Amino acid sequence: MSIQTVGIIGAGTMGNGIAQVCAQAGLDVVMVDISEAAVQKGLATVAGSFDRLIKKDKLTAEQKAAALARIKPSTSYDDLKAAQLVIEAATENEALKIKILAQLDALLAPEVIIATNTSSISITQLAAKTQRADRFIGMHFFNPVPMMALVEIIRGLQTSDATHAAVHELSTRLGKTPITVKNAPGFVVNRILVPMINEAFFVLAEGLASPEDIDAGMKLGCNQPIGPLALADMIGLDVCLAVMNVYMQEFNDSKYRPCPLLKEYVAAGWLGRKTGRGVYSY
| Annotated catalytic residue, options 49, 120, 190, 198 | 190
The CA-atom distances, in angstroms, between 254 and each of 105, 199, 239, 263 are 37, 13, 19, 16
- DSSP secondary structure letters along 49-113: HHHHHHHTTSS-HHHHHHHHHTEEEES-GGGGGG-SEEEE---S-HHHHHHHHHHHHHHS-TT-E
Is 88 considered catalytic here? Answer: no
| Annotated catalytic residue, options 49, 119, 120, 198 | 119
Which amino acid appears at position 167 of this protein? V
| Annotated catalytic residue, options 88, 140, 183, 198 | 140
- Burial of 273: CB neighbours in 10 Å, binned 0-12, 13-18, 19+: middle
Is 119 considered catalytic here? Answer: yes
| Annotated catalytic residue, options 49, 120, 122, 152 | 152
Radius of gyration of the chain (CA): 19
Residue partners of 97: CB distance under 8 A and separation at least 6: 88, 90, 116, 118, 121, 126
Distance CA 220, CA 153 (A): 31
Residues carrying an active site annotation: 119, 140, 152, 190
